[in-house]
Amino acid sequence: MIKVGNNFFIRQILHSYVTWIVKRHFHELKFDPVGVDSNKSILLIANHFSFWDSLILFIVCRKLMKKKFHVMAREETTVKFQYVKYGGAFSINRQSRDMLESLDYAANLLNDPQNLVLIFPQGKLYSNFVNTIQFEKGITRVIEKAEGKFQLIFAATFVQYLKHKKPTATVYLQAEPYAGKNFEELKNVYQMHYDNAKLQQSEIVI
Amino acid sequence: MIPQRSNRLIKKLFAPYLAYRLRKAFKALKHDEVEVLPCHSVLLLCNHFSWWDGFFAGHLAHNYLKRDFFIMMQEDHLQKRMFFNRVGGFSINRKSKEVVEALQYAAKLLDDPNNLVAVFPQGALESNHIDEINIERGIDYIVKKIKGDCQIIYYSAFIEYFESLKPSVYFRFLNCGTNKDFDFERLKAMINEHHKIALKEQVNAEH
């Protein structure tokens, strides 16, 4: 497993680079204001439909939540792009025993209130047009291990062009009070948030 | 209403530039196959969700459907960019009495089997995530006014990213028959059903 690299300078360079490419590619990046508890770390759960997801949420994290960004990524990605570990990526390989180590590592990161851990429960890329969000079981292990030390936030991202030459990314955020939810409940609550976000997206008429 | 003022030379010069712009902004434009009837003009109906839709339609008309491209645009949009008038854009103003004139003009263009007219039946810019395509009555009027042979083709386009930083566009065509066996209510039902299936299939799109 590849752990997060700690290098202040590379992180700053990556941050500037990501800010620049997001600004260049998107017309606008919209996100909801959400109350952040400064005494708790954040577990961010999001839908995964493109390479941009983590970059967009990286910016949202810097602008809104002001925590140290971490993201669980597939092993192939972290091996192919070695530098992403300095941006906060750590790897998970679903086919190996290493997987448990990665999940425990994520739970460990949540012990520090300065941290934010982003997990895509879908486990791989899906279309932006899916109606139901698949959840992989691993997320419950992270939640159980770090019980009570984190604030749970849901994110649902959509990218649309509408009347501009460049696309607009909209991130719907919602802080979810976490109280011992089991796997099915978590899945359903996220699904409700996602449906609601999707409905708002589809009602746009210009 | 502003009629189109295109000529062959400008269109010929514009096509490679359009291809270049699309190549720069998108990773790939993927479309499925549709049977294009010979000696028929084409009325191309498209879902309208972005700034790029007209360019997509123009690109497909030129490269795949092989027809001379014309497009119906909102009057205020065309006035802002009068250049599109030179590459086949003509205007419609839904709020004025001239609306019939624009529809008749579209029908007249479709009398020539070498032509293709792209129309956004929704009449407004709507989200890419809707599952209901609203079709304005104007389509009915256009089709009934056509004197020659015309084939009606609809496509649903979807934008997806997946692994790439650049988006790809997926087009899903539907052959809606010809103007000889046309029924407006049937067209509406056909398009909506197709769009729903396309949305479902999009979830399993290859990437």
pLDDT digits (tens, 9 = 90+) for A105-163: 999 999 999 999 999 999 889 999 999 999 998 888 898 888 888 999 999 999 999 88
* Residue contact B203–A125, C-beta within 8 A: no
Which residues in chain B are contacts of A131 at CB distance < 8 A? 203
Segments of chain B scoring below 70 in pLDDT: none
Query: Crossing angle, helix B138-145 and helix B184-202, to 10 degrees?
Result: 120
Q: Is B203 on the interface with A (CB under 8 A)?
A: yes
Q: What is the ipTM of this complex?
A: 0.89
Cβ contact B57:B44 at 8 Å: yes
The model carries a pTM of 0.91
> Hey, which residues does B72 pair with through a beta bridge?
B90
Q: How many other C-beta atoms lie within 10 A of the C-beta of residue B13?
A: 10
* Ordered structural domains, chain B, with CATH: 8-202 (3.40.1130.10)
Does residue B205 sit at the A interface (CB-CB below 8 Å)?
yes
What does the pLDDT read at residue B169? 95
Interface size, chain A vs chain B, as Cβ–Cβ contacts under 8 Å: 84
pLDDT of residue A160: 93
Contacts of A206 in chain B (CB under 8 A): 124-126
Per-residue exposure over A168-180, b if at least 16 CB sit within 10 Å of its own CB, e if not: bbbbbbbebebee
Residue extents of the structural domains in chain A = 29-202
pLDDT at B101: 92
Contact status of B21 with chain A (Cβ, < 8 Å): no
- B125 lies within 8 A of chain A by CB: yes
Determine the residue of chain A that is closest to B122 in CA distance: A205
Q: Which residues of chain A have pLDDT under 70?
A: 179-180
Chain A hits for B204, CB-CB cut-off 8 Å, are 127
pLDDT score of A179? 66
Contact B199 A129 (CB under 8 A): yes
Homologous superfamily (CATH) of A29-202 is: Glycerol-3-phosphate (1)-acyltransferase (3.40.1130.10)
Please tell me the predicted confidence (pLDDT) of residue B94.
Answer: 85
